[in-house]
């Protein structure tokens, strides 16, 4: 069998035949290609048989054993009438502007979804800059506007990606769990740019949005998607409740002077934890609080009643139940719980909507944790664009097929 025939069968280079094969002094395998088509295609899609000039170029391909493999072919520049300028033609085996073959880039992108860049560079003998350029090209090829087409339930949250209060706004789809949009900063303008990218028709499709109780998210949502239900994260509601309960616990030190030391600290855990997670000793401590007729017992009951809103209350009963809870809290004569009731009353619609639509920011918190891992295994990213590209590659639902799996 001829060498060119063997390499044709092994490489299966699209749009070209293997002409000759050389081995240089460094042990690198150079495969010279001959194009099948005489037409030259611009990256925009326009094609012609004429050319402006021609040169020879090499593309790094998958290694052949311990040797680096390079594809070499003539590449033309053409005067594209659609672009109205001179551009380098597109070749079938590589992306426009790339010096690596598609197979090599697919392998690196697949590895980048699963491991750190330092290991990739050592494994495939390439540079960090090459890996980052490949990630950017793969993401640009897969990330199109269609990812924003069928968004019905979304969540918005922010993440600090480096010191100095530098934030990213992250928006994910609750139905798929994929990140659909990332913007620099944490402001009304950033979220407004997302809604502008959606457009009026797709904004009208949004049914519910989970978010934190910060004003920067509410104003753009009310303007661009007024029909969408804003669902406030239950975690923050219970965080307010536990803080109020901690304050009551601190004030009850004189009333419960007989509970000291380790039991006093254990009591704080028993008050904050869910009743289903308590042990026998925790129930004994709560029983002591109940028998003392302390306000702390009533505050704990109010906390558990509010937890029941998210655990056992039906969606159609959420608003009446929450109104009744606010009334009981205001009549409790406990200043901390009365303040909490007024705060919850201020955010009544968003808190009730979270129960009605069964939405929380827990999925967004999981996404944020994965983004932190992406940033950590990359030892930080000097350029923000590099981090955003990695977020879309790892969490954007991009499927990169391996070149070895056909």
Query: pLDDT digits over 140-196, tens only?
Result: 999 988 899 999 999 999 999 888 788 999 999 999 999 999 999 999 999 999 999
Query: Which DSSP symbol is given to 393?
Result: H
- Residue 207 belongs to some domain of the structure: no
Same domain, 243 and 262: yes
Looking at the structure, do residues 87 and 132 belong to the same domain, yes or no?
A: no
Other residues' Cβ atoms within 10 Å of the Cβ of residue 59: 24
Do 187 and 81 lie in one domain? The reply is no
In a domain, 127, yes or no: yes
Contact 325, 140 (CB under 8 A): no
317 CB contacts (<8 Å, ≥6 apart)? none
Residue that is written with structure tokens 């063997």 in the block: 6
- Tokens 């990606």 belong to which residue? 161
Three-class secondary structure of residue 290 per DSSP: helix
Mark which of 70, 95, 120 sits at the end of a domain: 95
**Whats the size of the chain, residue-wise?**
406
pLDDT of the residue at 234: 95
Position 205 in a domain: no
**Which parts of the chain have pLDDT scores under 70?**
1, 254-258, 406
Is 3 in the same domain as 34?
yes
Residue ranges making up the domain that contains 63: 1-95
Same domain, yes or no, for 264 and 321?
Answer: yes
Whether residue 206 lies inside any domain: the answer is no
* 307 and 347, same domain (yes or no): yes
Query: CB neighbours of 398 closer than 8 A, spacing ≥ 6?
Result: 113, 138, 139, 142, 143, 392
Residues 69, 218: one domain? no
Token pair in block for residue 80:
């594209």
Per-residue model confidence (pLDDT) at position 406: 59
pLDDT of residue 165: 85
| CA–CA distance, 61 with 65 (Å, rounded to integer) | 12
Tokens linked to 342: 């007024």
User: Has residue 170 been placed in a domain?
Assistant: yes
> Last residue of some domain: 65, 80, 95?
95
Task: Specify the pLDDT at position 290.
Answer: 86
Residue bearing tokens 């109020």: 244
- CB neighbours of 37 closer than 8 A, spacing ≥ 6? 15
* 159 close to 371: Cβ distance less than 8 angstroms: yes
Same domain, 33 and 109: no
User: Is the same domain home to 15 and 30?
Assistant: yes
- The residue out of 39, 60, 95 marking a domain boundary is 95
**pTM score, whole prediction:** 0.88
Q: Tokens 């920011």, residue?
A: 361
User: Is residue 178 domain-shared with residue 243, that is, in the same domain?
Assistant: no
Asked if residue 384 belongs to a domain, the reply is yes
Closest CA to 282 of 300, 298, 306: 300
Domain for residue 10, yes or no? Answer: yes
In a domain, 204, yes or no: no
Euclidean distance between the first and the last CA atom of the chain, given in angstroms as a whole number: 24
pLDDT at 287: 86
* Same domain, yes or no: 143 and 188: yes
Calpha distance 46→287 (Å, rounded): 80
DSSP code per residue over 92-146: TTS-TT-SB-HHHHHHHHHHHTTS-HHHHHHHHT--HHHHHHHHHHHHHHH--GG
pLDDT of residue 58: 96
Dihedral, CA atoms, 178, 179, 181, 187, nearest 10 degrees?
130
Containing H/E element for 297?
A: helix 295-311
Q: What is the largest CA-CA distance in the chain?
A: 95
Number of separate domains in the chain: 3
* Residue 127 and residue 100 in contact, taking contact as beta carbons nearer than 8 Å: no
Distance CA 294, CA 331 (A): 16
Residues 252 and 316 in one domain: yes
């Amino acid at each position: 069998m001829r060498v060119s025939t063997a390499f044709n069968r092994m490489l299966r280079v699209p749009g070209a035949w293997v002409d000759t094969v050389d081995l240089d002094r460094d042990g690198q395998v150079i495969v010279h290609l001959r194009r099948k088509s005489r037409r030259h295609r611009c990256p925009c899609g326009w094609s012609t048989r004429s050319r402006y000039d021609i040169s020879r170029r090499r593309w790094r391909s998958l290694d052949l054993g311990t040797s680096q493999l390079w594809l070499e072919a003539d590449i033309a520049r053409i005067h594209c009438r659609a672009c109205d300028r001179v551009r380098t033609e597109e070749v079938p085996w590589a992306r426009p502007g790339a010096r690596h073959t598609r197979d090599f880039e697919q392998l690196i992108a697949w590895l980048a979804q699963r491991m750190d860049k330092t290991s990739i560079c050592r494994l495939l003998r390439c540079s960090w800059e090459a890996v980052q350029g490949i990630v950017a090209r793969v993401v640009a090829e897969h990330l199109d506007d269609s990812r924003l087409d069928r968004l019905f339930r979304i969540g918005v949250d922010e993440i600090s990606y480096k010191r100095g209060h530098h934030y990213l706004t992250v928006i994910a789809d609750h139905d798929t769990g994929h990140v659909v949009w990332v913007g620099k900063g944490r402001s009304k303008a950033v979220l407004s740019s997302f809604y502008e990218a959606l457009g009026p028709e797709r904004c009208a499709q949004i049914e519910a949005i989970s978010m934190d109780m910060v004003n920067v998210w509410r104003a753009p949502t009310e303007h661009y998607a007024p029909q969408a239900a804003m669902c406030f994260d239950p975690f923050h509601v219970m965080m307010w409740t536990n803080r109020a309960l901690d304050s009551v616990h601190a004030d009850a030190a004189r009333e419960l002077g007989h509970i000291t030391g380790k039991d006093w600290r254990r009591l704080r855990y028993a008050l904050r934890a869910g009743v289903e997670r308590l042990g026998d000793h925790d129930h004994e401590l709560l029983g002591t609080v109940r028998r003392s007729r302390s306000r702390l017992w009533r505050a704990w009951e109010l906390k558990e009643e509010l937890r029941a809103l998210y655990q056992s209350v039906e969606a159609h009963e959420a608003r009446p139940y929450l109104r009744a809870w606010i009334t009981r809290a205001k009549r409790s004569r406990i200043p901390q719980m009365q303040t909490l009731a007024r705060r919850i009353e201020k955010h009544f619609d968003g808190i009730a909507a979270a129960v009605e639509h069964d939405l929380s920011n827990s999925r967004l918190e999981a996404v944020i944790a994965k983004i932190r891992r992406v940033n950590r295994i990359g030892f930080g990213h000097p350029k923000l664009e590099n981090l955003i590209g990695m977020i879309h590659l790892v969490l954007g639902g991009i499927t990169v097929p391996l070149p070895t799996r056909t």
